[in-house]
Amino acid sequence: MKGASRTGSTEKALAIAAGLAAALAFATPSWSKTPPAPERAAVPKPQPVQSRSAPLKQARTALVPFQTAPFPYRGAVPGSGRPFFDVSENGRRGHTTPYGRLYWEDETYSDNRVLLHIPKGFDVRRPSVMIVFFHGHGATLERDVLRRQRVADQISRSGANAVLVAPQFAVDAADSSAGRFWEPGAFGRFMGEAAAALAELHGGPKSVRTFASAPVIFVAYSGGYLAAASCAINGGLNKRLRGVVLLDALYGELGKFASWIENDRSAFFVSAYLGSTREKNSELAEILTARDIGYATELDRPLHQGDVALLSGGENVTHRSFVTEAWVDNPIEDLLRRLPGYRR
């Protein structure tokens, strides 16, 4: 893995990124089950860039410390009125999860690194998309997201002009806490830093405009749903968020996801499930039906704006392997192949 150093150009890139909020839409017809949307442009318009960079000759991957990462976190647990760290013992601070498990700050909530990946052939001159991956319980970025779940590799193999941003949440723990991402607007600041860090990884601050304006897709696995829901509603991305994908992850927050789907009919939503989330997906289907929002139960063509799909995960598939074996092998790769207009 290539390391990433932060240089003086980062501050300038951060300043540029903070002022950008341009959003692109997936502009193609809606699914037949969904009410027709107004006519839109046939393809996404390339975001303006100030770069003559050629496509990357080699993939670039790095673990980068972020000032705006989910952890460390000094705030409260939303809705509880109590501090996140509710235990102090011999100078150590700890957090008690809703299930009664105690985790210590220095072991579980002090990793501020973010996994960044830019695939070989990525071209800043073409329309691009940013994948933000929420890893869920019991994960580390290197061991699980990068090696076991092969998220970066799936993006590279997809052929999409896409980049990956995957923050570390609780380290190797059964905890879905969103940390700083619970705070309104905090995720927007994180995305500004992500744009600057990706530009530095790519080769210089000139490409920061590309990364600061690229459409965003959330992919949440398992317990990652909690942070994804918070960022979708309170993250400040608005129309820049063009899709949400839940991989056996709909354990709760149905109201937030349903509201997001209803309030932005130009974005897509895909939830794939096994037994543990089947009931919640059925509940969401009832909510959507009551709101006259159509949905499909299989993917048989490219993804379009306004699409909603609730997918059975398939036979002989386990929760632990769901990021690599779901309704198809390598589901992230499959979804990216279904996005028109974002090819390398």
Any idea of the CA torsion for 40, 42, 47, 48, to the nearest 10 degrees? Answer: -100
Is the predicted pLDDT of residue 129 greater than 80, yes or no? yes
Q: Total domain count for the chain?
A: 2
What is the structure's pLDDT at 11? 55
CA–CA separation, 157 and 76 (whole Å): 40
The most confident of 15-24, 28-37, 51-60, 316-325, by mean pLDDT:
316-325
Residue that the structure tokens 């790095």 belong to: 62
User: Which comes out higher in pLDDT, residue 97 or 10?
Assistant: 97
What is the structure's pLDDT at 167? 98
- Nearest alpha carbon to residue 44 among 161, 195, 194: 161
The rounded mean pLDDT for the chain is 88
Residue 254 lies inside a defined structural domain of this protein: yes
CA–CA separation, 79 and 2 (whole Å): 40
% of the chain residues with pLDDT over 70: 85
Residue 104 lies inside a defined structural domain of this protein: yes
Residue that the structure tokens 């341009």 belong to: 22
**pLDDT (tens digit per residue) in 210-244:** 999 999 999 999 999 999 999 999 999 989 999 99
Residue 26 lies inside a defined structural domain of this protein: yes
Q: Are residues 86 and 183 in the same domain?
A: no
User: Which comes out higher in pLDDT, residue 2 or 193?
Assistant: 193
What is the structure's pLDDT at 161? 97
Residue 20 lies inside a defined structural domain of this protein: yes
Is the predicted pLDDT of residue 16 greater than 80, yes or no? no
Residue 262 lies inside a defined structural domain of this protein: yes
Residue 4 lies inside a defined structural domain of this protein: no
Q: Are residues 247 and 296 in the same domain?
A: yes
Q: What is the 3-state composition of the chain as percent helix, strand, coil, each rounded to the nearest 5?
A: 30, 20, 50
pTM, rounded to two decimals: 0.86
Domain limit, last residue, from 59, 84, 108 = 108
Instruction: Output b/e per residue, 146-185; b: 16+ Cβ within 10 A.
Output: beebbbbbbbbebebbbbbbbbbbbbbbebbbbbbbbbee
The most confident of 41-50, 141-150, 232-241, by mean pLDDT:
141-150
% of the chain residues with pLDDT over 90: 78
Q: Are residues 99 and 207 in the same domain?
A: no
Residue 344 lies inside a defined structural domain of this protein: no
Q: Are residues 181 and 135 in the same domain?
A: yes
Is the predicted pLDDT of residue 45 greater than 90, yes or no? no
Q: Are residues 227 and 314 in the same domain?
A: yes
Q: Are residues 104 and 137 in the same domain?
A: no
Query: For residue 329, which phi and psi values (nearest 5 degrees)?
Result: -70, 145
Q: Are residues 103 and 199 in the same domain?
A: no
Residue 118 lies inside a defined structural domain of this protein: yes
Q: How confident is the model at residue 12 (pLDDT cuts 50, 70, 90)?
A: low
Q: Are residues 161 and 88 in the same domain?
A: no
Residues 6+ apart with CB under 8 A from 10: 196, 197, 200, 205
What is the structure's pLDDT at 1? 61
Other C-beta atoms lying within 10 Å of the C-beta of residue 205: 23
Number of Cα atoms under 13 Å in the Cβ half of residue 274: 19
Helix axes 186-202, 9-18, angle to 10 degrees: 130
**pLDDT (tens digit per residue) in 292-310:** 999 999 999 999 999 999 9
**Separation of CA 320 from chain center:** 19
Q: Are residues 331 and 300 in the same domain?
A: yes
Identify the domain containing residue 160 by its residue range: 9-71+111-337
Any idea of the CA torsion for 228, 233, 234, 240, to the nearest 10 degrees? Answer: 90
Q: Are residues 81 and 28 in the same domain?
A: no
**pLDDT (tens digit per residue) in 170-187:** 999 999 999 999 998 899
Q: Are residues 192 and 93 in the same domain?
A: no
Q: Are residues 189 and 119 in the same domain?
A: yes
CATH code: domain of residue 56:
3.40.50.1820
